[in-house]
Amino acid sequence: MIKRFFLSIFYLGWKSLVWVALKIFFKRTIVRGKEYLHTKGPSILLSNHPNTMVDPIDVAVRSPRMVHFLAKAELFRNPLMRWFFTTFYCIPVERPNFSNGQRVDNSASFAKCDAFLHSGGCLYVSPEGTSILQRHLLPLKSGAARIAISAAVTSDYTIEVKFVSATISYVTQGEFRSTQLITVHEPISNAKWRADYVADPIKAIDTIRNGLAELMQSSMWEDSGKYSAEVDAAVFMSAPYIANRPDEFHDKGMAYSRKMKDWLNTDPAKAEAWANEIGKIKEFLKGKALSKSEWGWIGKEYSFVNKIWRIIALLPSLMFLGIGLIFHLIPNALIGGLWRWVSIEPEYEATVKILAGIILYPIWYGGLLIIAFYQFVPIAIILLMLFLVFVTGHFYYDVLAYCRETKWVFSQSKSNKEALLEKNIALNSLISLINN
């Protein structure tokens, strides 16, 4: 009882810390179907997995339940890590591609899953089985279906396990202060497939897996094959500031990728020609030193009033950025430098940055407060400092983007404007083509 109470307190503390970290990292999160995360009783929480350790916590932290996690057995090799993950809500699972050719035995893991679901728990599983930076769904493994069936069979079908599937669409997944859309689907009960399992267990597991894949794919981009990068670029170019609207970004991406998939099946030459033209515009924008989130500026018209306002707002904006640099330059530079130093797969970028932020931010800002107190700084100045830290931290990247756009507006020569107009006309034609 005492241990359970301690673990509950630890979980709430961990969940609060993760929630704050995600709120800081992601500028905006939209959740569709949030009510389905309140599903009660034995349930398996699923999501796509392009962002390593961020995906499980990104979904679990939004559920009011105490979620346990199915994690790869490699995390449990070290005795200390094994104690930590075993104690704090994780169940190990062996994966064939990491077994050195030996037969994989997950019977003990399945027994733990059975017991946990029998007690009415909520278990997170990544059905793709691996983390790869893609906007489309990878083929699902059979693990989630087998766990649900096993729990039902070992309880003599006295419990009903529900699948609660979610898909996460990151706009720029490793970028600080980016946006995301999470879509949660209506729960599906494993009782739906009971008769199928009694008739043919192997076929029933495939049926469940295919059903879950179809449901999750319904809210994800299609696989555009070798033209995925061009489809991605077209969405960024389609409207100014679309990176700040993850729902619109995602919906356009779904429409564009489905059209591209249709072209690949019916008219590959059309798909290639369209992708080549988008590629030319993409290279042009890269040559202008614009980030992906800024590609939508190509189609924006700036009125005379807008330009005057930008001139007026430039000085206070630069002052704001200067104050922000005083407070935030060192920790952010250290986090960015750490990511460049570790030099690992891009799927880990958000994970590395969030973990580094959880450690560095409290040390840095706590250190500033301690120094202020020891220097007997008046409380009013300390409160002002805290206010400035919050305000500049919250709006710094928005103001920086505004200043970059102002520079873009006033740095275009006549020849550049003519080239932009030409590219914009071509882009509008290409966007119109894929929208039809």
Contact 66, 123 (CB under 8 A): no
Residue 252 falls inside a structural domain: yes
Residues 365 and 244 in one domain: no
DSSP states of 354-418: HHHHHHHHHHHHHHHHHHHHHTT--HHHHHHHHHHHHHHHHHHHHHHHHHHHHHHHHS--HHHHH
Residues 314 and 293 in one domain: no
Residue 429 falls inside a structural domain: no
Cα angle, residue 127 at apex, residues 121 and 128 outer, rounded to 5°: 155
Residues 294 and 408 in one domain: no
Contact 170, 178 (CB under 8 A): yes
Q: What is the pTM of this model?
A: 0.92
Q: Are strands 162-170 and 188-189 parallel, antiparallel or unpaired?
A: antiparallel
Residues 255 and 335 in one domain: no
* Distance of alpha carbon 257 from alpha carbon 264, whole angstroms: 10
Number of domains in the chain: 3
> Pick from 300, 332, 349: which residue ends a domain?
300
pLDDT at residue number 103: 65
Residue 173 falls inside a structural domain: yes
Residue 434 falls inside a structural domain: no
Q: Mean pLDDT throughout 237-250?
A: 95
pLDDT > 80? residue 49: yes
Domain coverage including residue 271: 225-300
Residues 195 and 328 in one domain: no
Question: For residue 349, what pLDDT band results from cuts at 50, 70 and 90?
Answer: very high
Residues 296 and 255 in one domain: yes
> Pick from 300, 322, 351: which residue ends a domain?
300
In one-letter notation, the amino acid at residue 260 is M
* Distance of alpha carbon 237 from alpha carbon 295, whole angstroms: 5
pLDDT at residue number 273: 95
Q: Mean pLDDT throughout 175-194?
A: 92
pLDDT at residue number 417: 78
pLDDT at residue number 197: 83
Instruction: Give me the numbers of helices (H) and strands (E) for the chain, helices first please.
Output: 14, 8
Q: How many C-beta neighbours within 10 Å does residue 324 have?
A: 22
Give, in order, the Cα–Cα distances in Å from 209 to each of 117, 141, 236. Answer: 19, 7, 33
Residues 204 and 235 in one domain: no
Q: What percent of the chain has pLDDT over 90?
A: 63
Contact 183, 232 (CB under 8 A): no
Q: What percent of the chain has pLDDT over 70?
A: 97
